[in-house]
């Protein structure tokens, strides 16, 4: 009998990424405080939150393989100022105006835990995008089309967000989307989950 797999997330994008692996899994959203602690870097925050999200669900389902992820963004010029989800069109416009022509960094954590097997692994995968110089008209038009109000940095790279970039840097572009599949697959293979 296959071991139960749980994605500790309510994200539609993370679910779409998990679906690529052709695995049977459940989604359960962990309820945790996602605020940064004083002095916490983006990498530290993504690492800590990934672990906490997985731990909440793994404690409830100790025999399951629990997968969680967290993503934090910041501009290269302002490493201590973390960029979150805009939630409103006005905030999304302001984010994209600020990011125009600049490099945006992402730290995306992935944690896999199975308490019954004493397995806990977590990594943070970096990724960068460089934005083109964007006009206000392009920004407003993009936001109307893609409605990226629940996306850190105010874009959806799996959709029209790609039109905003000049270049991308990183080993795994799925990290930019919110769930680093290359690292996740390595952890799943260690737990003997069959993957093609």
Residues marked as catalytic? 70
- Check the CA dihedral 33-39-45-48 and report its sign: negative
Three-class HEC string of 113-146: EEHHHCEEEEEEEEEEEEECCCCHHHHHHHHHHH
Per the listing, tokens 């409830």 go with 60
CB of 180 within 8 A of CB of 15?
no
CA distance 188 to 170: 22
- The structure tokens listed for 32 are 């945790």
CB-based burial, 143-173: b 16+ in 10 Å, e otherwise? beebebeebbbbbbbbeebeebeeeeebebb
- The structure tokens listed for 181 are 């599949």
User: How many Cα atoms occupy the beta-carbon half-sphere of 106 within 13 Å?
Assistant: 32
Judged by DSSP in three states, 180 sits in coil
């Amino acid at each position: 009998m296959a071991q139960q797999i749980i994605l500790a997330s309510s994200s539609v994008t993370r679910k779409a990424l998990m679906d690529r692996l052709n695995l049977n899994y459940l989604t359960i959203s962990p309820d945790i405080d996602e605020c940064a602690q004083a002095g916490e870097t983006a990498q530290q925050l993504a690492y800590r939150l990934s672990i906490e999200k997985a731990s909440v669900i793994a404690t409830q389902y100790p025999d399951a393989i629990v997968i969680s992820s967290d993503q934090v963004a910041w501009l290269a010029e302002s490493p201590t100022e973390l960029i979150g989800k805009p939630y409103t069109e006005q905030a999304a416009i302001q984010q994209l105006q600020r990011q125009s022509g600049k490099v945006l960094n992402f730290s995306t954590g992935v944690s896999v835990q199975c308490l019954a097997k004493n397995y806990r692994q977590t990594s943070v995968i970096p990724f960068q995008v460089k934005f083109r110089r964007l006009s206000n008209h392009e920004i407003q038009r993009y936001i109307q089309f893609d409605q990226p109000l629940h996306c850190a940095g105010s874009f959806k790279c799996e959709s029209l967000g790609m039109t905003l970039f000049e270049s991308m840097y990183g080993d795994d572009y799925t990290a930019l989307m919110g769930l680093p599949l290359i690292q996740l697959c390595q952890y799943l293979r260690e737990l003997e989950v069959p993957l093609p």
